[in-house]
Structure 1
Amino acid sequence: MGNLPVVRTSFVGRSSELARIERALEEHRLVTLTGSGGVGKSRLALRAADTVGDRFPDGVWWTDLSPLYDDQLLITTVCDGVGLLDHSSRLPEEALREWLAGRRLLLVLDCCERVVTSCRRLVGELLDAAPGLTVLITSRQPLGVEWEHCVEVPPLSTGADEDGAADGDRPQDEAVRLFRDRAATAAPHLTLDDPDTASAVVEICRRLEGVPLAIELACARLRESSAREITGRLASRLDALTDEALWPRRHRTLRTTIGWSHELCAPLERLLWARLSVFRGVVGTADAEAVCSGGPLTAGIIAPTMERLASQSVLQRVGDGYRMLDTLREYGAMWLAELAEDRPLAERHAQHFATVAAQAHAGWLGPSQVAWYRRIADTHADLCAALEHLLAEDPGKAVEMAGCTGLFWSCCGHLHQARGYLERALTLPPSPGPHHTRALWALGITLTLQGDHKAARRVGEECNRAARRDQDAESILSAAHSISFTYLMMGRPQTAHSVSDHALRHLPDGADDAPSQLRCRVIRLFALSALGRLDEAYEEATRLQRISLRHGERWARAYADHQLALIHMLQGRPRHAEAHARSMLASKNDLHDSLGIALGLDLLAGAIAAQGDGVEAARTSGTGHTYWRMIGHPHRGTPELGAIRARWERQAREAAGDTAYERAYHRASADDAERGLAHALERHRP
């Protein structure tokens, strides 16, 4: 259980440091790995976390803080890291403390240096609230609290004896081992075993003082230079920088090596390096082409130039994209400012991701719906950076972008961020129109999901007034959706049905393909079921399925499956209900919609219980409980489902017996949520 990232390069050396960290994690609840940039803190933390993972029954959870440039997103980033997708209106800090309180887990916070003050406060609160929590931190500086145990991460040993002589054959010469390991990838046909080359390798490692990132950058040059040539060039650069006041020794070697690598890049490679520093997360080539092209750097050469930067260790390949280490990003940002391109690139970055959000919104009702959900999830850090820029520089565009991302973020688990950005955008000087109305709709949905029904009704009415001013079909349907959804979740299905039904019976011209027409149909369907009008609900559900299939979309179709499963259960057809519940779960899993997954697991548990398998029903219900706990939803769906769930649980207990039921339920609720969901989806009943 956990979310440790996969590192594709091998781990070399560090055995003594690794042992120190393992011992420290046995004796201390807060361990901080300190050291300069590029010294290997993150990789060492990853190895240590993987090694000690068995000590923590609730897993090891990794949170990368390197995309953060201030503390505004710290809490939500940590919540994402531990799998908490809170839907309640509680403060995120409160939800995080409660989520961790009864768990024994290791939380790794990587790259804390930009948010040290906020991390100090947050970590103190979490350690107080969760006695079973251990925190491992990497940072260029300690947090500075009395219970913190610091482990300084030194450079790798370099193979120099006390007299300064080099001997690359010693087992403790970790820098040489790293050089050879990376050289095998960078220049696989190069032989390093002849005496002159071996001596040069040791000299390179000594001059680079064993700093891993510096060694990797030097290795990348073996394609065009021999080890002896690299030694001479490094010597001339490093020996020229002797001013300790200007270049503190622990930073001098790495900064000089980065500068040397920068100079050896072709001019267009240097330009792209600088421009890519504007990105916060993993960068795809299409995004890089849209943001970084211009002048001599044409869009057509972006992809091969990124590939060359990866071969020089400036970029790292991650799936289909690339990421830049924080230290190298800082250097690129420095050059971007020198080129006076920092502000124009930030603007281009923001406008590009605003366009991505608009395209995602426009593509919601169609066969690319799942792909857009994943696109929004994968570019979350850059979308946040773009919104921050637009809130300061372009209020109108900020409102438009916040409205476009609202529903995606609600499904992807970023409910607090969605609310925060929407409320900030809507406090800006208003510019009436469909974009403003859409932002009000998104805020109303977010507030309802958090259980803040009073505020949601107020925003829904404001949205309705704005929609009537717009005289726009999508705006009018969005307002109806917001209002009827709030009434449905308040336990007033008759009012929800009246609002959604009136909007659908008086569709404005051009509204047949409006996305909110489908959303209003979902509300009307749920309301019919809640009112006990099951035959009408069945007809509405099958009609909604046909419309969804025609468009190729999955979100509304999944809710049609949910209601068909519920109707079959209420009418005594559990096998049919199970099939629809599984179909719903598959769709909601593809969309990463945790609320939908939780609802589907409840239904599946009921269908299994009705067929007499109480133990499997308990296991499925336990996995559902894990998802409900993750999202903290105040009502576990619409209010009338509570009594129905209680009836299904009684059936399962009678079939399994209380002892077997409790054992299966608690085992599943303590297990990893994704593993439990995979079991539920893969299990085929006869």
Structure 2
Amino acid sequence: MPPLPVDGAPDALQLFADRLRATDPRAGLDAPGDEAAAVEICRRLEGIPLAIELAAAGIGRHSVAQLATRIGTRFDAPGLTVGAPGAHGSSGAAGLPGGVGAAADLGTSRLDLLADETVWPRRHRTLRTAIGWSHELCTPLERLLWARLTPLRTDFDAEVAREVCAGGPLTPDEVDRALQGLVAQSVVQRDGDRYRMLDTLREYGRMWLTELGEARAAADRHAHSFLGLARRAHEGWTGPDQVSWYHKVSDTHLDLCAALEHLLAHDVEGAQEMAGRVGFFWACCGHLSEARNYAQRALDAGPVEGPHRTRLQWVLGVAALLQSDFTTAEKYGALCTATALYDRDDEGMLGATYLSGLTQLMTGQPAAALEAAGRVLRMTEGVPVDSGHRLRCRLVTVFALTALGRLAESEAAATALRRACERGGEFWTRSYVDYQLALIALLQGRPDASAAHARAMLAGKHRLRDSFGIALGLDLLAAAIAAQGAGAQAARVYGTGHAYWRMVGHPQRGTPELGPVRERCELQARAAVGDEAYQRAFERGQSDNAEVGLAAALRTELQL
């Protein structure tokens, strides 16, 4: 955000007053001289919003006039950057043994550069000074928490703060108290039960964490916390909280990546477990490249056997399949099958058959996929019906029956599978069942029913933030709309589908039987409205915001 006007405009002063009242509803600028002092504070801070917020948050310990004097003193001191390592008068990062010494040299961080008049404008040096002054106002335990929170890259809740930061003088209860103190100081922002720290403040805290010698310990705690999240998500993904777990994995993506990088360097077994447990989430929800990259790196780094390695091979195969690398998918499907047979692992056998079956479907071998899925489902009848691997293996059966043209059998199998998913609160497999029901109806010449099933599929994929699934569903919905004779509406939905394929990062996908249907329906749409009108509607859909385009597609009556 750019600086606010400070000369002749009320913006900066209004922000200061608003933050003052947010800190203490009884506070104001009513005392004689308060408003003039506040104007001086805003001028000294050059209208920088973050600096103004930090200053207003510290008012509880000073009057407005005292605050203006203190800030003026700090800014007028020649060569002084408050709170920087080695700066006169600054305390250790937590007010504890091991604080910053005058000879500290942390290398060239962005904050160090902010003090360099030859590199950065004056307003950046002003911001650093304001951050350092705010740091001085914190209690020793608040400073320590500030430092220990810095490994967190995304929003977090109090439980995560305790997991990542508790230790030594920071007991779990002290973490809670210090966290509220940092919120009061505007160092941490709160939104409901979620907290976040701005990047600039995080980097300042990271500088102090390094000076304390705690960077490795903090990274260890961070990685352990997010490995725990990966385990819980993996266990809960087929239950009634599936959508919630998908969102947690999606929302903490940067933290999971950071934890994986640390584990790859310091705990390869932990990295293999984590990459295997979150890889399917990533592969299904738009992070194909990360899923494949981390799975491959963890495989290359670790031991040659064990359950974590087997799960990694499966994730790598699924990611390769979704990227149309069928050779690699086939290789890892065979490896997973051999391992599951050797270990007599029924769940593993179902998972391997899902991977191999989808590979066969995508390479034009539906009869082989149907035979293998049916055989393995009979072999593993002891596995619970709501098992994720079992549901996915049944999905292969539905896809294969459709591809073989056995539409009545496929519809019956899909309907039964959908009921099983509904009972367990499972959305991911269910949405692909809706996709199959839409395709079956379209092939049977029932475009109205097809469009309804396609919209149900899209609603489920949207809940899971599954961009790949949304792209597939939009293509099928467009085909159903075209088959109804609504050429312009179909073109717009096709355009939105192309926008989603760009987001996913590769061209259109789909099982082989969808291609001819898609081409035939696109020709119908062009014939219905003419090439020029078709192209206009297509380009509108392609240029729409993705969410806006999807919302339009989900409406029964699509407006142009």
**TM-score class, shorter:** 0.7 to 0.9
Kindly report which structure 2 residues correspond to 1:117-516, keeping only aligned pairs within 5 A, or say none. 170-171=7-8, 176=13, 178-180=15-17, 182-192=19-29, 195-205=32-42, 207-208=44-45, 211-235=48-72, 237-238=74-75, 242=79, 248=116, 250=122, 253-300=126-173, 302-303=175-176, 305-318=178-191, 320-507=193-380, 509-510=382-383, 512-516=385-389
Q: Structure 1 pair 632/333, CA: closer, same or farther in 2 (3 Å)?
A: closer
Please give the alpha-carbon distance, in whole angstroms, between the structure 2 residues aligned to 1:275 and 1:296: 12
Residue 370 of structure 1: how far off its partner (Å): 0.9
Deviation at 1:156, TM superposition (A): 6.6
Give CA-to-partner distance per residue, 1:507-545, whole Å, 9 cap, x none. 164454431111111112111100111122112101211
Question: How do residues 624-663 of structure 1 correspond to structure 2 at under 5 angstroms?
Answer: 624-634=497-507, 636-663=509-536
The aligned counterpart of 2:100 is: none
Secondary structure of the 2:190 match is strand
SS in 2 for 1:317: strand
Could you report, residue by residue, the CA deviation over 1:291-347 in whole angstroms, capped at 9, with x for unpaired residues? 222344343454554333222110123565222122211221222233332211111
**TM-score, with normalisation over the residues of structure 2?**
0.86
Task: Identify if the C-alpha distance between structure 1 residues 182 and 505 changes in structure 2 by more than 3 Å, giving closer, same or farther.
Answer: same
Q: Which moved more, 1:424-433 or 1:351-360?
A: 424-433
Which piece of structure 1 moves more, 234-243 or 653-662?
A: 234-243
CA contact (8 A) 2:131 2:201 kept: yes
Q: CA deviation at 1:216?
A: 2.2
Of 215-224 and 547-556, deviating more is: 215-224
CA deviation profile, 1:546-578 (whole Å, cap 9, x unmatched): 211121100111111111121122222222222
Q: Cα gap change, 1:175/1:534 in structure 2, threshold over 3 Å: closer, same or farther?
A: closer
Output one character per residue of 1:21-48: Cα deviation in whole Å (capped at 9) or x when no partner: xxxxxxxxxxxxxxxxxxxxxx13xxxx
What displacement does 1:579 show?
A: 1.8
> Is the alpha carbon distance of 1:357 and 1:206 closer, same or farther for their aligned partners in structure 2, counting shifts above 3 Å?
same
Shift of 1:610: 2.8
3-state SS, counterpart of residue 601 of structure 1: helix
Post-superposition Cα deviations, 1:45-75, rounded to whole Å, max 9, x if no partner, equal xxxxxxxxxxxxxxxxxxxxxxxxxxxxxxx
Provide, for residues 374-395 of structure 1, a one-character-per-residue CA deviation record: whole Å limited to 9, x for no partner.
Answer: 1111001101000000001111
Within 2, Cα distance between the matches of 1:584 and 1:549? 13
Q: Separation in 2 of the partners of 1:452 and 1:481?
A: 16
* CA distance in structure 1 between the aligned counterparts of 2:39 and 2:547, rounded to whole angstroms: 47
Question: Which deviates the most, 237-246 or 259-268?
Answer: 237-246
Q: With CA pairs under 8 Å and 6+ residues apart, which has the higher RCO, 1 or 2? A: 1
What is the rounded CA distance, in whole Å, between the counterparts of 1:571 and 1:212 in structure 2? 61
Alignment correspondent of 2:103: none
Using the alignment, how far apart are the partners of 1:590 and 1:157 within structure 2? 42
Cα RMSD between the aligned structures?
A: 2.7
Q: Residue 74 of structure 1 aligns with which residue?
A: none
**Helix, strand or coil for the counterpart of 1:581?**
helix
Q: Structure 1 residues 242, 657: CA separation in 2 closer, same or farther (over 3 Å shift)?
A: closer
Rounded Cα–Cα distance in structure 2 between residues aligned with 1:494 and 1:344: 54
Amino acid at match of 2:365: R
Instruction: Say which SS state the counterpart of residue 301 (structure 2) adopts.
Output: coil
Cα 1:611–1:202 change in 2 (3 A) is closer
Q: Which amino acid aligns with 2:422?
A: L
User: How many residues of Structure 1 are paired with residues of Structure 2 in the alignment?
Assistant: 522
Matches of 1:451 and 1:460, distance apart in 2? 14
Does the alignment pair 1:583 with 2:420? Answer: no
Q: How has the CA–CA distance of structure 1 residues 605 and 174 changed in structure 2, closer, same or farther, with 3 Å as cutoff? A: closer
Which whole-Å CA distance do the structure 2 matches of 1:215 and 1:595 have between them? 43
- The separation in 1 between residues aligned to 2:248 and 2:176, in whole angstroms, is 19
Which one of the candidate residues 593, 618, 633 is aligned to 2:466? 593
Cα 1:210–1:608 shift into 2, 3 Å: closer
Offset at residue 640 of structure 1 (A): 1.7
Quote the Cα distance in structure 1 between the aligned partners of 2:534 and 2:34.
Answer: 67
Q: Structure 1 counterpart of 2:65, which letter? A: R
Shift of 1:225: 2.1
Measure the CA separation in 2 of the matches of 1:177 and 1:616: 48
Structure 1 SS opposite 2:238:
coil
The aligned amino acid for 1:390 is L
- 8 A contact 1:493–1:531 mirrored in 2: yes
TM-aligned CA deviation for residue 429 of structure 1: 2.7
1:15 is matched with none
Higher mean displacement: 640-649 or 282-291? 282-291
Counterparts of 1:661-680 in structure 2 under 5 Å? 661-680=534-553
CA distance in 1, matches of 2:37, 2:502: 58
Task: Report the CA distance shift for 1:497/1:632 in structure 2 as closer, same or farther (over 3 A).
Answer: farther
Q: Deviations over 1:84-104 (max 9, x none)?
A: xxxxxxxxxxxxxxxxxxxxx
Unaligned runs of 5+ in 2: 88-114
Partner AA of 1:191 in structure 2: G
Residues 445/319 of structure 1: CA separation in 2 closer, same or farther (3 Å cut): farther
1:179 deviates by 3.3
CA distance in 1, matches of 2:508, 2:203: 46
SS of the residue 1:427 aligns to: helix
Give the Cα–Cα distance (whole angstroms) in 1 for the partners of residues 5 and 476 of structure 2. 59
Per-residue deviation, 1:445: 0.6
In the superposition, relative to structure 1, how do residues 646 and 314 fare at CA in structure 2: closer, same or farther (>3 Å)? Answer: same
| Cα distance change on mapping 1:243 and 1:581 into 2, 3 Å | closer
Q: Deviations over 1:154-184 (max 9, x none)?
A: x7776xxxxxxxxxxx416875565345435
Moved more, 551-560 or 282-291: 282-291
Percent identity between the aligned chains? 53
Judge which range, 353-362 or 675-684, deviates more.
675-684
